[in-house]
Amino acid sequence: MIGTHATLEIVDGLAWITLVAPQRSLPVLDLALIADLETAVTELERRSDWQGLVVRGREELVFAAGADIDAIAGLTDELEARALIERGQRLYDRIEDLRGRMRGRMVAAIGGACAGGAFELSLALGTILAVEDPRTKIGLPEVMLGILPAWGGSTRLPRRIGVPAALEVILQGRLMGAREAHRKGLVDRLCAKEDLWRIAGELARGTLPLARRTRGLAGLLVDRNPAAIGALAWLARRQVRARTGGHYPAPLEIARVVPQAVLSSRTSSLHLEAELAARLVVSPVTKHLIRIFRLSEEAKGLAKFADGTRAQSPRVIGVLGAGVMGRGIANICAERGLATRLFDIAPAALDTALFEHRAAVESKLKKRRVQRHEALAQLDALDTTAELATLTRQELVIEAVAEKLDVKRKVFRELAARLPADAILATNTSSLSVSAIAEGLPNPERVVGLHFFNPVAKMPLVEIVRGRATSEATLRRTAAFALSLGKTPIITADCAGFLVNRLLGPYLDECVRMLEAGVDPARLERALKRFGMPMGPLELLDEVGLDIAAHAAQSLHSAYGARMQPCGTLERMLAAKRLGKKSGLGFYKHGPRRRLAKDLARFVTQVDPALARLSEAAIAERALLAMLCEAARALEERVVESARELDLATIFGMGFPPFRGGLLAWADELGPRERNARLAALHGGANPRFEPAGRILAGCMFHAG
């Protein structure tokens, strides 16, 4: 039987279903593919001339992604969503029920991506064979989109690997490599790419033995003990609430359905899956998370030229400066397998970089995230030098030296004289003009801003800053490099603060102003964390360093005038040698147990009773509206091309809560009338920090159309 999206062949008593989906680079379980699978299963149910089944991709390293994200995003009716979920469940149930009709096995032959609905298909088949290759990625990432695995994943995985392990896999939503998936029990056997279909066929025929791992008596006792399962469910929900603040409903529902899967019938468990998933699919949180996923996927297009060809990512990297940022950049480059040379004139700084790199790699090795030969390659990828003259063959050099224009120009002049003419010169500056750094250099079109955020290993965003002379080729190659590190790039204009720091400035300043006016610091921190920010503004300032924050504030004030005039508290703290976390004292007293400093009342300069009485919701709103005013200006000035990119930057660059969809999405949910009324009250005709601009002034939606 030949289908358009999935084909069925029966050869020598063995059935082969191949996922084709010719219109896609990677098959997706959309309605067309599901329909072809239904037809294939109907044919298998009708026939008796087969004794084993293999489901495979059209190539060894092309299996399938999950369900159709676009279809999920378009669902707004809960009943319609449930009907689609139940259709997938029925199909996978029919596949599982085929097991009773054969002497052999049903095998999923996986290579490349196998996520979400594709892995749920594999679970229904029962036997899972995977190619041991870095491109093989397996898991159930639904929670990252605000939903739960509802085509049987929340039911079949706990029955396969036990409730505790299944909760970990589904709640993390992380795609894992083949070796880790095998270790956790998601995969039954590994093989080389060239052996995939041969071994799959032998397993399906039953001619190749397969050792089945068991969870042992202790695991079975947990699964069959309602009290133990109830305790696991309670503990999981408690941990989820503590981690998410209750803002994300999907993890709570996962913690409800997964433990019940081992205590109830398949039918009952699937019924609960469908009920909970249908409710989640149409929720605003899910719509926001899917939109963020799409935005991050769109960002991958920045590495392509106008004709669709992909830019080549540099593979030989130089990093100047072994401070916190420089060594963080060098370490992540080496961990990605890029030949990286780190320069600094201080041997101690280079030693620290090598020590941190080794510790990071050994930690991954200990957790079995990498194999020993991969760990050794990552260690070998980083070398250090105290001689700038040794950087002669690098395709990209990133400077992270002192924030002084003359220093940066000097090192780039020296590099330009030694490096090939097409080598990219990237600056990690956060406060200087990229165009100014490029002035007077030969081939200034290769100079670009490449602004990482601290900590480099964890922060997903990279700002790529277009100077006046920066070429399109430089931008695209730099974006390809950022993507090769697993980062999400955005392209910004060359302006003071670029985008993220420009928006953070008024937000943090407004929070400190509220502290000066008598707002209780604990309430201030709690208000923004309850809104969904990952940490309170005072904690963030301490993490950044009050000296760095004060310098950034002065830079923004010099560039943008009165609306960015900083309050005086940071300078007073610096005068008292309070630098934040690095000195042990700032807004917090840092130590074994971090806590707000007890003397913050000394920084209350002029009590404003009205501000001091603000509710926590009003505190958060005031700080965010200050940020919104600057965001509207940045959008009007085309610092980034669209509201979509700005929202992505606020989420990945400053931790704006993803469940709210980004700063501008939040502003749209307030609605233009309500938003403008609240800003008018704060502006009062005179306060420049809340002066409306751009689409705010016009009373428009940011994401209209």
Rg (CA), the chain: 28
Confidence of residue 629 (pLDDT cuts 50, 70, 90): very high
Q: How many CB atoms lie within 10 A of CB 551?
A: 16
Give the per-residue pLDDT at 486. Answer: 94
> If we measure between CA atoms, which residue out of 230, 235, 232, 236 comes closest to residue 250?
236
Distance CA 113, CA 198 (A): 20
The contacts of residue 670 (CB under 8 Å, 6+ apart) are 678
pLDDT per residue as tens digits for the range 273-326: 999 999 999 999 999 999 999 999 999 999 999 999 999 999 999 999 999 999
Q: How many CB atoms lie within 10 A of CB 99?
A: 15
Q: How many CB atoms lie within 10 A of CB 422?
A: 14
pLDDT per residue as tens digits for the range 101-157: 788 999 999 999 999 999 999 999 999 999 999 999 999 999 999 999 999 999 999
Start-end of H helices in 419-471: 434-438
Give the per-residue pLDDT at 295. Answer: 93
Distance CA 560, CA 554 (A): 10
Tally the residues of the chain. Answer: 705
Supply the DSSP symbol for 357.
Answer: H
- Cα 627 to the chain's mean position, in Å? 23
The contacts of residue 231 (CB under 8 Å, 6+ apart) are none
> If we measure between CA atoms, which residue out of 498, 411, 455 comes closest to residue 323?
455
> Which has the higher per-residue pLDDT, 695 or 40?
40
Segments making up each domain of the chain, as ranges: 6-282, 313-493, 500-698
Q: What is the DSSP string of 241-285?
A: HHHHTT--HHHHHHHHHHHHTTTS-HHHHHHHHHHHHHHHHTSHH
Distance CA 1, CA 17 (A): 10
Distance CA 668, CA 689 (A): 20
Distance CA 549, CA 573 (A): 12
Give the per-residue pLDDT at 650. Answer: 97
451 belongs to the catalytic site: yes
> If we measure between CA atoms, which residue out of 112, 110, 92 comes closest to residue 199?
110
What token pair was written down for 635? 């959008």
Distance CA 362, CA 135 (A): 22
Candidate list 373, 451, 557, 590, residue with the active-site label:
451
Fold of the CATH domain 313-493: Rossmann fold (3.40.50)
What token pair was written down for 3? 């289908």
Tokens 């306060």 belong to residue? 687
Give the per-residue pLDDT at 699. Answer: 85
Average pLDDT over residues 604-628: 94
pLDDT per residue as tens digits for the range 271-284: 999 999 999 999 99
Give the per-residue pLDDT at 215. Answer: 65
> Which has the higher per-residue pLDDT, 396 or 4?
396
Sort strands 488-493 and 127-131 into parallel, antiparallel or unpaired.
unpaired
Is the model's pLDDT at 591 over the cut of 70?
yes
Predicted structure pTM score: 0.90
- Which H or E run contains 296? helix 284-299
Confidence of residue 583 (pLDDT cuts 50, 70, 90): very high
- Are 325 and 454 within 8 A, CB to CB? yes
Q: Which residues pair with 424 in a beta bridge?
A: 396
Q: Which residues pair with 585 in a beta bridge?
A: 580, 589
pLDDT, mean over the chain: 93
Is the model's pLDDT at 436 over the cut of 60?
yes
Fold of the CATH domain 6-282: 2-enoyl-CoA Hydratase; Chain A, domain 1 (3.90.226)
Local structure of 298: helix, strand or coil: helix
Looking at the chain, the whole-number percentage of residues with pLDDT higher than 90 is: 84
Tokens 């790529």 belong to residue? 464
Distance CA 130, CA 110 (A): 5
- Are 416 and 338 within 8 A, CB to CB? no
Please write down the HEC assignment for all residues of 606-623. CCCHHHHCCCHHHHHHHH
- Are 559 and 495 within 8 A, CB to CB? yes
Q: Which residues pair with 138 in a beta bridge?
A: 114, 176
- Are 473 and 311 within 8 A, CB to CB? yes
The contacts of residue 143 (CB under 8 Å, 6+ apart) are 170, 171, 172, 173, 250, 251, 254
- Are 555 and 431 within 8 A, CB to CB? yes
What token pair was written down for 226? 């309602």
Q: Which residues pair with 488 in a beta bridge?
A: 461
Q: To the nearest 10°, the Cα dihedral for 529, 535, 541, 545?
A: 170
Confidence of residue 165 (pLDDT cuts 50, 70, 90): very high
Distance CA 372, CA 362 (A): 9
Distance CA 1, CA 47 (A): 12
Domain 500-698 classification at class level = mainly alpha
Local structure of 562: helix, strand or coil: helix
pLDDT per residue as tens digits for the range 462-513: 999 999 999 999 999 999 999 999 999 999 999 999 999 999 999 999 999 9
Q: What is the DSSP string of 614-679?
A: --HHHHHHHHHHHHHHHHHHHHHTTSSS-HHHHHHHHHHHH---GGGT-HHHHHHHH-HHHHHHHH
- Are 489 and 501 within 8 A, CB to CB? no
Distance CA 583, CA 542 (A): 9
Distance CA 302, CA 478 (A): 9
Distance CA 287, CA 281 (A): 8
Weakest-pLDDT range from 18-27, 109-118, 383-392, 528-537:
18-27
Upstream peptide bond of 521 is cis (omega within 30 degrees of 0)? no
pLDDT per residue as tens digits for the range 639-651: 999 999 999 999 9
Give the per-residue pLDDT at 224. Answer: 67
At 325, give phi and psi (nearest 5°): -70, -45
